[in-house]
Amino acid sequence: MKKRIIFALIAVLLVLVGILFFYLSTNITGETIKEYSYSYTKAICNETHYCQDYEIRCEGNKTISQNPISGAVIQNPNNWRDPRDEESINKLCD
Q: HSE, CB side, 13 Å, CA atoms: give it for residue 66.
A: 11
Average per-residue pLDDT for the chain: 84
* 23 has pLDDT over 90: no
Please report the pLDDT score of residue 33 as a whole number: 56
Given a contact cutoff of 8 angstroms between Cβ atoms, the answer to whether 56 and 93 are in contact is yes
Domain contains 18: no
Query: Which pTM does this prediction carry?
Result: 0.58
Number of domains in the chain: 1
Give me the mean pLDDT over the 80-90 stretch.
Answer: 90
Domain contains 13: no
Q: What is the pLDDT of residues 39-75, one digit of tens each?
A: 999 999 999 999 999 999 998 888 999 999 988 889 9
Please report the pLDDT score of residue 26 as a whole number: 62
Domain contains 23: no
> 93: domain range?
35-94
